Structure 1
């Protein structure tokens, strides 16, 4: 391993999308070298130059380096809290509910949220909107298509009643019904892009689960500060169970329940 080139590449990755491979250079090199060989380049250093000359190649690099493990009905305790507590509180305030699924991967999370909102009966279709974003353009294509193979792990936790109600079964997989698809808008977004992040405004709830674990502390604070400004007054932020931002003093109040925790925007 050429230490100089792999360190340089890790810095480029960090600057581009916040992924912190600085202490895991061997894994980074193992992931990217297949792509280097596919392009018939002689070294990782040449690949860095190629990225500079052909910035569209970043789409391929991001696809290789991002982690996209997800499934429907993930972290049930949070979903139950969202459905039974958070949504009724938002309903009391009146108006439309807006949800942001950040780093949505192949779409299982935002589609699950749409199903949960439908199940409450609190909001008719015209009164709720879900915006789902990711930096990986390939997974966004999968998400928009809404088709999931029967052999995938996407359905490992979903209750049968949701599967039967909100999916159309085909020979090899299931497709999300149009009534759910129509509630979700998918779009490309880099969480480190200042301009794009400042345009994400007026959300009641943000879900960004099991993403921050791949960032360093500086990047986590930067992203969650953006989330704070994206939320409405008394808005809610759901992170993964191993992601804790209580020490940053951004302005969130930690909401603890017997089964989970999440954050509420304090002004």
Structure 2
């Protein structure tokens, strides 16, 4: 009976956000047992609790996802991104370059992209907008603060020159400067929510790294099609180095460059 209840929860999680714990109920149990103990609920009671307390989904997501990340992660992909930026430098002054960091976690990725954009010297202030989204409300709050412990592993790949240029020390932390923060808009988004495409502006580049590993084939297919609808013709998609959409029907072509691979949507950039 208890096993059946955990299977029910796994299916509900899959329907809600696409994360697949079906046939992995033992892993799900390990991740959520502390939350059930905190609430003093059995798994049966917890299923009912989710019905009457929709905000509990935020807590559930906190427990089942891994938000381990750091600045300047997967440097070869970032080198490719820096090269791609040159394609967009001659746009009209009124046309904003839009980049989406999907599943941005605690913010290291969008802030890294902002630093690279600043370092490129290609774009005047206000001409680039980064949308950083995640399904986890708590981790988004941390990302918006832009404050990280000095001893945090977030800085394991941080070039010293970048640390001095874009952060300032405050107590035991380093704080992102306002010039970078103003480039980024943070939003809570579920990649599987029904009206995602309508909520997002068309963008030129999407980063969605180390996210698809949570999903099965049908969910990956759905997300990639949504990305295709949101990316402008000629735009780019970056996934994690261990992720691929090979075999997935999509309008993206694979590009191999700089010891990294990424994807380009067909068409001419606007």
Is TM > 0.5 for Structure 1 vs Structure 2? yes
Report how far residue 155 of structure 1 moved: 0.2
Q: Is the 8 A contact 2:202 2:232 kept in 1?
A: yes
Report how far residue 258 of structure 1 moved: 4.4
Map 1:18-37 → 2, pairs under 5 A: 18-37=18-37
Which residue matches 1:259?
259
Q: Which runs of 5+ in 2 are unaligned?
A: none
Q: What is the CA–CA distance in structure 2 between the aligned matches of 1:254 and 1:54, rounded to whole Å?
A: 43
Q: Is the 8 A contact 1:198 1:226 kept in 2?
A: no
Q: What is the CA–CA distance in structure 1 between the aligned matches of 2:226 and 2:20, rounded to whole Å?
A: 19
Give secondary structure in 1 for the equivalent of 2:263. strand
Q: Is the 8 A contact 1:212 1:220 kept in 2?
A: yes
Query: For this pair of structures, how many residues does the alignment match?
Result: 265
Q: What is the CA–CA distance in structure 2 between the aligned matches of 1:155 and 1:258, rounded to whole Å?
A: 23
Partner deviation per Cα, 1:133-164 (whole Å, 9 max, x = no partner): 00000001001111000122100001111111
Give secondary structure in 1 for the equivalent of 2:190. coil
Report how far residue 22 of structure 1 moved: 1.2
Which residue matches 1:69?
68
Q: Is the 8 A contact 1:136 1:188 kept in 2?
A: yes
Give secondary structure in 2 for the equivalent of 1:169. strand
Instruction: Tell whether 2:170 aligns with 1:154.
Output: no
Partner deviation per Cα, 1:4-36 (whole Å, 9 max, x = no partner): 011001001111111111132111001111111
Partner deviation per Cα, 1:202-224 (whole Å, 9 max, x = no partner): 10100000000001111111011
Which of 81, 87, 90 is matched with 2:88 structurally? Answer: 90
Please report the TM-score for the alignment, with normalisation by the length of structure 2: 0.95
RMSD: 1.2
Q: What is the CA–CA distance in structure 2 between the aligned matches of 1:258 and 1:155, rounded to whole Å?
A: 23
Report how far residue 249 of structure 1 moved: 2.3
Q: Is the 8 A contact 1:90 1:204 kept in 2?
A: no
Map 1:243-254 → 2, pairs under 5 A: 243-254=243-254
Which residue matches 1:44?
43
Q: What is the CA–CA distance in structure 2 between the aligned matches of 1:78 and 1:232, rounded to whole Å?
A: 20
Q: What is the CA–CA distance in structure 2 between the aligned matches of 1:239 and 1:62, rounded to whole Å?
A: 21
Q: Is the 8 A contact 2:77 2:258 kept in 1?
A: no
